[in-house]
Amino acid sequence: MASKSSTETAIMEKDVRTDIGVKDDARKKLVEILNMRLCDEYVLYTKTRNFHWNVIGPRFSRLHEFFEEQYEILDEIVDEVAERARQLGGKSLGTLEEFARHSSINEHPGQYPDAQTMISNLLKDHETIIKTLRKNADEAEEQYEDMATNDFFLEAVQKHEKMAWMLRAHLEGSDAL
């Protein structure tokens, strides 16, 4: 298991200097933050895909398609977050072990909840990510003076808010809330 300092060191490029108007220390910290978001996004992607595969019940067909739509959006977000870290001159984490170790999203191996619980769990995860992204957006602007990364985080908030709204709509009128 790598120490945090070796992970921090490994995530910054060493070959070509990145000179984009953001201080080196700020870029390094932003890459670390982006990598933590990458881990959250990838675990949520995997969790959503798992629910897509394992949903059962009278709404199977609709929820199977719905979860697919959601994990496809998450797949795009995963790629965008990894590429944003690279744009800032850093490396992107990319192993399942790293994703699981650094994610704030919890998985529940071997558990196959009912459809309503799946939806409720995903909604809670999106809301967790939304709150974290809002905090990260503020940090990008206020602490690290990077308006582009601030904007990047805010766009991700909007995508997650839309997915959360759709999940919430599936729960309306149920006892799951």
pLDDT at 176: 46
Q: Which two tokens stand for residue 128?
A: 């967790």
pLDDT at 149: 96
> By C-alpha distance, which of 111, 113, 115, 158 is closest to 133?
158
| Residue 48 to residues 10, 60, 73, 151, Cα–Cα distance (Å) | 29, 14, 11, 26
* CA trace torsion 91, 96, 102, 103 (10° rounding): 120
> By C-alpha distance, which of 16, 31, 41 is closest to 129?
41
Between CA 136 and CA 130 the distance in angstroms is 10
pLDDT at 119: 98
User: Are 102 and 39 contacting, i.e. CB atoms less than 8 angstroms apart?
Assistant: yes
Mind listing the pLDDT tens digit of every residue in the chain (177 residues)? 444 444 444 555 555 677 666 687 888 999 999 999 999 999 999 999 999 999 999 999 999 999 999 999 999 999 999 999 999 999 999 999 999 999 999 999 999 999 999 999 999 999 999 999 999 999 999 999 999 999 999 999 999 999 999 999 999 866 544
Helix (H) and strand (E) counts for the chain?
6, 0
pLDDT at 21: 66
User: Which domains can be identified in the chain, with CATH numbers?
Assistant: 29-107+118-171 (1.20.1260.10)
Strand partners for 90:
12
pLDDT at 2: 44
Between CA 44 and CA 125 the distance in angstroms is 7
Between CA 85 and CA 60 the distance in angstroms is 37
